[in-house]
Amino acid sequence: MKLDVNALRYLSKDDFRVLTAVEMGMRNHEIVPAELVDRIAGLKHGGTYKVLRNLLKNKLVHHDATKYDGYRLTYLGYDFLAIKTLVNRGVFASVGRQIGVGKESDIFEVATEDGTVLAMKLHRLGRTSFRAVKSKRDYLAHRRSFNWLYLSRLAALKEFAFMKALGDHGFPVPTAVDCNRHCVIMSLVQGYPLVQIKELQNPDDVFDTILGLVVRLAEHGLIHCDFNEFNIMIDDDEKVTMIDFPQMVSVSHRNAQMFFDRDIECIYKFFRKRFHLSSEKCEEQDGLDIDDDENGRPSFLSVQKAAGSLDKELAASGFTRKEQVEMDKYIDQNADEESSDDDSTSEQDNEDGDDVAVKINSLKIAEQGSAEVPDCTIAARGSNEPETFAEEVSQIYCTE
């Protein structure tokens, strides 16, 4: 679904009231009964049903009458709720062009009142990947147990917390600005994804820097879990920036060693293939056990002994144990699916893997100096509009 924020200008207070009512109903309903939406919204003279028709027309909700007359939010409706809240907070004033698309996220430019350009990341967990459609007919059925909007919100909350903590500890990450629902606002990274870089002036230095980041993360008690060429940004000075953190886990996670080894292997494999890693390093690594300290590769067991407590600090960042367990289940399932996909589609990946991967994961970030300032302005409503979801909920339950 393409994000068209122009429609946001024409939505009324009642429209957002009903949207929020559907969101609230989805806390314990997959499909929210129309009667429940009407009761929560509290509009007079049957106004809720008229608003629902308008929201359905704009594809902000989905209608389902299979078992009963009900509605659920679409990702576009969830986008509008998050954007409206952030605009009312004054975080940004306009939304511009899309600058990146990932397997489970979309990246847009946004601009503040003073013209500062930021990046807005909208998490879209559950979005079908091209490879999964080809290889697994039961892919969607397998994932119906998840509430994707809920998991997307958890992913955004987790990414924001990790980004902020990593930045405070001196890691090269974007600056975390704000977060609401499934939307994360961050500084705009200068440079390009490593996957788009064909040549480097100092590939060995960049390789050592990237590998050092994996080890440094583990020494702070964290594993990235998706540390590859798509989630590493390189600028003109070959400065490295890490992105994409919702899947990070603690070194105490039951699969932490597997995730750590996979991150290390991804870096080695990419640099061997793209930048022809020096033969000395290749000969040193090939055929050896990753966990053996003598092979020169970082050892998870040795790093784990010196691990810090950043993972424990983040455990108290507002992410409840229940939410963490649910995200861990999703991360583990993703790991299983990726492993299965790799086994069944390795031949096809050799033929067209680069093109598909770039299409799915490319996060081409234009240089801020040459970026066009977004021109699609979203006018904030009056000062009496709710700025947070809690205020929206409070207003819904308040009778006039």
Closest CA to 166 of 231, 226, 217, 125: 217
Task: Report the b/e string of 123-160 with b at 16+ CB within 10 A.
Answer: bbbbbebebbeebbeebeeebeebbbbebbbbbbbbbb
Give the number of other Cβ atoms within 10 Å of residue 73's Cβ: 22
Active site residue 226: yes
Q: Can you tell me the distance from the alpha carbon of 89 to that of 380, in angstroms, rounded to the nearest whole number?
A: 9
In sequence order, which residues have a C-beta less than 8 Å from that of residue 153 and are 6 or more positions away? 123, 181, 182
Q: List the catalytic residue out of 38, 106, 226, 263.
A: 226
> What tokens does 172 get?
């090269």
Q: How far, in Å, are 31, 156, 253 from residue 179 at the CA level?
A: 26, 7, 26
Residues 271 and 285 sit within 8 Å (Cβ to Cβ)? no
10 Å CB burial of residue 220 (0-12, 13-18, 19+) is: buried
In sequence order, which residues have a C-beta less than 8 Å from that of residue 288 and are 6 or more positions away? 294, 295, 297
Task: Report the b/e string of 50-59 with b at 16+ CB within 10 A.
Answer: ebbebbeebe
Torsion angle in degrees (nearest 10) through CA of 252, 330, 298, 344: 140
Closest CA to 373 of 116, 13, 125: 116
Radius of gyration of the chain (CA): 23
Q: Which residues are catalytic?
A: 226
